[in-house]
Chain A
Amino acid sequence: MPEPSESAGTPAGRAAPVVTPSRVIAGLCLVAPFVAMLWVGSYAKVEPTLVGIPFFYWYQMLWVLISTALTMIAYKLVQREQRLRKGGASR
């Protein structure tokens, strides 16, 4: 990983925009698990079962993996953007 140079911050005078496409995508990745998990009616059923485990349980455990993947995407996006900002490179 290339080290960002110490002195360069956000270019003075021209502040980077607060809302950027990658921030919006990162935000959606973080919000998705809330929608999926709090909408209990969408998964409160027994069928279809998976190796004998009712849908209710395996679906929620599947979401552990999905939300992990989503958080990882958000992490990568945020990290990439930070690096760009620190490098002072305008996109």
Chain B
Amino acid sequence: MKDGVNGVALAVFIFFFVAVTVMGFLAARWRKAAQSDNLDEWGLGGRSFGTWVTWFLLGGDLYTAYTFVAVPAAIYAAGAAGFFAVPYTILVYPLIFTFLPRLWSVSHKHGYVTTSDFVRGRFGSKGLSLAVALTGILATMPYIALQLVGIQAVLDVMGVGGGENTHWFVKDLPLLIAFGVLAAYTYSSGLRAPALIAFVKDGLIYLVIIVAIIYIPIKLGGFEHIFSVAEDTFAQPNPATGKPRGELASGPNAQWAYATLALGSALALFMYPHSITATLSSRSRNVIRRNTTILPLYSLMLGLLALLGFMAVAAGIKVQNGQLAIPQLFEDMFPDWFTGVAFAAIGIGALVPAAIMSIAAANLFTRNIYKDFLRPGATPAQEHKVAKLVSLLVKVGALVFVLTMDKTVAINFQLLGGIWILQTMPALVGGLFTRWFHRWALLAGWAAGMVYGTLAAYGVASPTQKHFGGSSAEIPGIGEIGYIGLTAFVLNVLVTVVLTVVLRATKAPDGVDETSPEDYTADVGDKGVQADPPPVTAGVPAGH
């Protein structure tokens, strides 16, 4: 690591940061509706986004800064195993194609803002809806915290924040400023701010990756050389475990883990409140489907980015904290000004998802806890106000999380978050297709999956950690190592099905279903769908 502050890189970084801050505040005026003090406007951008805005928004949302730091870091640490992110993001799109248009239709018809709204309407159960809402908020918080970890990694490598002995306030000041700014424009502009900033973020990220994937291999002597160095490095035994550090292609023992991680993560990804928020903000069913055919461009980029992990190995990058491997690679390889661009890409890449996640968590709290339990008669204007405040609280919570606790705590919780959010799938996806599942059975299945998943993850040890050492454990009954989230999900489904059969046999009372079968295929232009006021000023052309 170079000593001191990298001045040029820092200046470029600050330039981009100021630019997106201005954009974030101006976003409030972008395609503003006449009546803007309600949750549809603030929390879903007026449900008006077309194909391109949705593309940038979802892309900016699903491929977070943490992804960009963590995926190559995983490759850097262990080789092939870290590449599961690519099949994972391949599998997400057929799933979105199949499930989310139905959710979009029913949500538009009934004015649902969150998945919990839908679950309550479908099953007539406030308890189940609360379970889904709490799971969503719990899973989102550490995810926001990890975005901060991404920014911190960049600031660390730039030499901002001082060494170990610096006063904590000075050390964390840059992060506090970044987050204060983020919180302010999310508060004032809602979902429009990240939607607009996502353009800059993705532009920068594409630029950096294309340059990196061409420039760095040339500097390092070609892919052939990179992979042969990586092969030698991975073959050397790890002093802590005595096993080789990693491998170039998944060995027979690692293949179950690879496949179950890819599948489980894909199922979990679109259950996250922030993916749902971005999806519901789109203008029509076709916008969603069309997006599943253009979003994989990001997966291709992610694959290329993952290869940077091997380049970090070949370049002989040695870092204590694996998260720093890629920022350090950039700093060593690029001229200072372009290092600044690359770091700005990661930093802004953290702000977009953090904003969307805090909005999604705020929507959940406002609709499914505040309105359902605390204040049933809340007006749209009150909902709007509460959501804005909660979005602030959520971010402060994430900040406190990162500043007071060890970084590994955030990572552990993120790992748990993925396992947890997957447990809301039977209620949500099951509910989209059938009403057969009983509400109490779904609640019991959810609880079983949550408890099993949490305990199993607690029991995983790694060379550096006694608990939460990873997300894979032996699958009971099969004996292979697999993703805990998926095992918990299978348990969840089993419990739900068995209990549904029992409850149906004993004629347990069913909830009231306020939806009807046509609601799930309704599209723009159908009766009752255009409930929202159309945007009055179309300032920026919205694509098609």
The 8 closest A-B pairs by CB, nearest first: A52-B223, A52-B224, A37-B87, A40-B255, A56-B249, A30-B94, A61-B303, A44-B250
Binds A, one of B285-293, B436-444, B508-516: B285-293
Given contacts A52-B223, A56-B249, A63-B87, contact A78 B303 (CB under 8 A): no
What does the 1/0 interface line of B236-269 toward A look like (CB < 8 Å)? 0000000000001111100100110011000000
Given contacts A41-B255, A63-B87, A68-B296, contact A53 B303 (CB under 8 A): no
Given contacts A37-B262, A44-B250, A52-B224, contact A67 B93 (CB under 8 A): yes
Determine the chain B residues whose CB is within 8 A of the CB of A63 once the complex forms.
87, 90
Q: Kindly state whether residue B49 has any CB partner on chain A within 8 Å.
A: no
Asked if residues A75 and B83 are in contact (CB atoms below 8 Å), the reply is no
Chain B residues within 8 Å of A, Cβ to Cβ: 80, 83, 86-87, 89-91, 93-94, 97-98, 222-227, 248-252, 255, 258-259, 262-263, 286, 289-290, 292-293, 296, 299-300, 303-304, 306-307, 525
Determine the chain A residues whose CB is within 8 A of the CB of B248 once the complex forms.
46, 54, 56
Given contacts A41-B252, A63-B87, A67-B90, contact A57 B303 (CB under 8 A): yes
User: Quick one: closest B residue to A30, CB to CB?
Assistant: B94
Instruction: For residue A6, give the distance in angstroms from its CB to the closest CB of chain B.
Output: 7
Instruction: For residue A60, give the distance in angstroms from its CB to the closest CB of chain B.
Output: 5
Given contacts A68-B296, A71-B93, contact A44 B251 (CB under 8 A): yes
Select A75's contact among B97, B227, B296, B299, beta carbons within 8 Å.
Answer: B97
A44 to B87 Cα, complex, angstroms: 13
Asked if residues A31 and B86 are in contact (CB atoms below 8 Å), the reply is no
Chain A residues within 8 Å of B, Cβ to Cβ: 6, 30-31, 33-34, 37-41, 43-46, 49, 51-57, 60-61, 63-65, 67-68, 71-72, 74-75, 78-79
User: Quick one: closest B residue to A66, CB to CB?
Assistant: B90
User: Quick one: closest B residue to A78, CB to CB?
Assistant: B289
User: Can you pick out 17 interface pairs between chain A and chain B where the beta carbons lie within 8 Å of each other?
Assistant: A30-B98, A37-B91, A38-B259, A44-B255, A52-B222, A52-B224, A52-B226, A53-B307, A57-B303, A57-B307, A60-B83, A60-B90, A61-B300, A63-B90, A71-B293, A75-B289, A75-B292
Select A54's contact among B91, B249, B290, beta carbons within 8 Å.
Answer: B249
Asked if residues B249 and A46 are in contact (CB atoms below 8 Å), the reply is yes
Asked if residues A56 and B87 are in contact (CB atoms below 8 Å), the reply is no
Asked if residues B227 and A54 are in contact (CB atoms below 8 Å), the reply is yes
A43 to B86 Cα, complex, angstroms: 14
Instruction: For residue A68, give the distance in angstroms from its CB to the closest CB of chain B.
Output: 4
Given contacts A54-B227, A75-B292, contact A64 B80 (CB under 8 A): no
A74 to B250 Cα, complex, angstroms: 31
Determine the chain B residues whose CB is within 8 A of the CB of A67 once the complex forms.
90, 93-94, 296
Asked if residues A71 and B97 are in contact (CB atoms below 8 Å), the reply is yes
A9 to B502 Cα, complex, angstroms: 39
Asked if residues B223 and A53 are in contact (CB atoms below 8 Å), the reply is yes
Instruction: For residue A54, give the distance in angstroms from its CB to the closest CB of chain B.
Output: 5
What 13 new A-B contacts, CB under 8 Å, besides A37-B90, A57-B303, A78-B289? A30-B98, A38-B262, A40-B258, A46-B249, A52-B222, A54-B248, A56-B250, A60-B86, A64-B89, A67-B90, A71-B94, A71-B293, A75-B290
Given contacts A56-B80, A56-B248, A75-B289, contact A31 B94 (CB under 8 A): yes
Determine the chain B residues whose CB is within 8 A of the CB of A79 once the complex forms.
286, 289
Instruction: For residue B208, give the distance in angstroms from its CB to the closest CB of chain A.
Output: 18
Asked if residues B259 and A74 are in contact (CB atoms below 8 Å), the reply is no
Determine the chain A residues whose CB is within 8 A of the CB of B223 once the complex forms.
51-53
A41 to B254 Cα, complex, angstroms: 10
User: Quick one: closest B residue to A74, CB to CB?
Assistant: B97
Given contacts A61-B86, A68-B293, contact A34 B94 (CB under 8 A): yes
Determine the chain B residues whose CB is within 8 A of the CB of A46 once the complex forms.
248-249
Instruction: For residue B75, give the distance in angstroms from its CB to the closest CB of chain A.
Output: 10
Select B303's contact among A41, A43, A60, beta carbons within 8 Å.
Answer: A60
Determine the chain B residues whose CB is within 8 A of the CB of A74 once the complex forms.
94, 97
Select A44's contact among B249, B263, B290, B300, beta carbons within 8 Å.
Answer: B249
Asked if residues B249 and A55 are in contact (CB atoms below 8 Å), the reply is yes
Asked if residues A64 and B299 are in contact (CB atoms below 8 Å), the reply is yes
